[in-house]
Amino acid sequence: LKDLASAIFDNMPVRIARPKEMDGLYEILRDPANSCAIGLCMYGAGEFTPYEIDSEKKMRYKGELRSKPKANFNIFEEEKKEKFEVKKQDKDDSEEGIELVNMDINLEQTNNKNELANIADISKQEKKPSALKKFWHSMTQLF
């Protein structure tokens, strides 16, 4: 199995491992089928062997500091900034134009905050099972 995996990945070093038992996981996540996903999450968090070659073929050592983190940006935030700049250029440097732009941005921010507040309310609401779910549950209990 190890030779086959090495041949598939262009003679890169390959290791075959068993899933690591972790506390605090649901029973589904303890299944060996999910070991790859859990391993990748742990690898991203810095849990790897004392030395290894990463996907970019660079040697990594345990405890090393990562070089510059990649810049994260939100496409929607970039679009808002572009709209803000366009509106600002269209208007004169008069006070009215600046106030309108600032008011639009404040409205968007309050709408976003209200949406996030409503998310918490939705999760607290009791979910009633539909008739189909009730029927399916009763059928599964028979067998």
The encoded tokens of residue 103 equal 């008011």
* pLDDT computed for residue 95 by the predictor: 47
pLDDT at residue 64, as a whole number? 64
- Residue 141 in this model has a pLDDT that exceeds 50: yes
pLDDT digits (tens, 9 = 90+) for 15-49: 666 666 666 666 666 666 777 777 777 777 766 66
Q: What is the pLDDT of residues 88-123, one digit of tens each?
A: 555 455 444 444 445 555 545 556 666 666 665 555
What pLDDT score does 57 carry?
73
Could you tell me the two tokens for 97?
A: 């134009």
The more confidently predicted of residues 92 and 60 is 60
**What is the C-alpha to C-alpha distance for residues 22 and 37, in angstroms, rounded to an integer?**
13
Domain-wise residue ranges, the chain: 2-61, 75-124
